[in-house]
Each structure stands twice: as structure tokens, then as C-alpha cells.
Amino acid sequence: MKSLLLAATLASASCFASAESSEVVDLASRPQVIQRTLVERPAGQPTGATLVLLMGANGQLGIFPNGSLRRDSHFLARVRGLFTARGPAVVLVDAPSDRGDLDGDFRETKNHAADPGAVIAYARKAFGQPVWLVGHSRGTHSAVTAAMRLAGDAAPEVIVLAAAMLDSSRFASSTAKPLQESGV
């Protein structure tokens, strides 16, 4: 029984293995605005789509220059190793330099769409793969906004909406409206 438990523990731990390599990349997304990202590459050549991950809650990761995260409790930040372990490169997107967070209706604006757009264009050029934009919770607003407003190299091939907000939030005006009411 102990050997079975140990094998199960090792197998689950390997799912959360960190990327083979990671680097912080700062991109100019709008005039005088920097979009900080954490780019994680799998062991070997990246395969399949490149995943651009948009956080829920207030969108803040707090990516430090060494690649560590001030807020690593976001769901997509926690599971990124599961993705890289299967072959794709992963790009985590922080809140842009001109915003402390992504609260309110900012996620629905043209200015906000430009931020993931710069990341998508970078990811497409860096990895030569299709780009999937993955939003979780309030990050689904960012993904939908980007898909509706972006074109060409800045537009994603696919959007993935995980735990989309489809009902009013208990946080009232401090949060985005339900996705179907966003007006994007």
C-alpha cells in the first residue's frame, strides 16, 4: 500500500513539474504601457498551440524580474505546469503597467484588447504555433474582448473560456458584468 501511495504521489507531482525554461518578457502593448509576461517553455521543442493565459480575479500576478509570482494562487498560474508538461509553450499575462488591477469595466475596452494582442503577436512570432487565448473566470472577459476586437497577427486562433462569469457577482460594481451583458 505504501508503494502504491508513493507512486501516486510521484505521478501527481510530476504533473505539476515546472517548465524546462522560463523568462520574463516585457512587451510594449500601447503607448507608454508595458505588458509583463512570464513565458514558459516545455522540455524539447514546443508542440501544438501556444497558450496565452489570462487570469481571473483582478488580473494581477505580480511577475518579478526573476520569474517568481507575487500572486501565484490564480488557477491558471497554478496549473501551467500541467500544460507545459504536455508540450505547448505557455505565456502568463500580468496586469499592464498602467493599471494596478483589471477591476471594473476595463476588461471590455479597446485599450485592454491591445494588451493581450501584443502578447499574441509576440507568441505567434516566437513559437510559430497557433495561439490559444485561455481565460479563467474574469479572464474570460479579456479573452472575449480580444477575440472580438483584434485582427491579423494580434488575434487568437482559438479562445477557451474556463469558469466564465454568467451571473452577477456578489462584488457588485467592483467586478465585471456577466459575460453576456458585457456589451463587447
Structural domain total, the chain: 1
Dump pLDDT digits (tens) for 7-61.
333 344 344 444 579 999 999 999 999 999 999 999 999 999 999 999 998 999 9
Is the pLDDT assigned to residue 2 strictly greater than 80? Answer: no
Question: What is the structure's pLDDT at 15?
Answer: 42
Domain harbouring 44, CATH code = 3.40.50.1820
Is position 6 within any domain?
A: no
Which domain, by its residues, includes 19?
14-181
| Mean pLDDT calculated for residue range 169-179 | 54
CB atoms within 10 A of CB 26: 13
Q: Percentage of residues in the chain with pLDDT exceeding 70?
A: 79
Mean pLDDT taken over the chain: 85
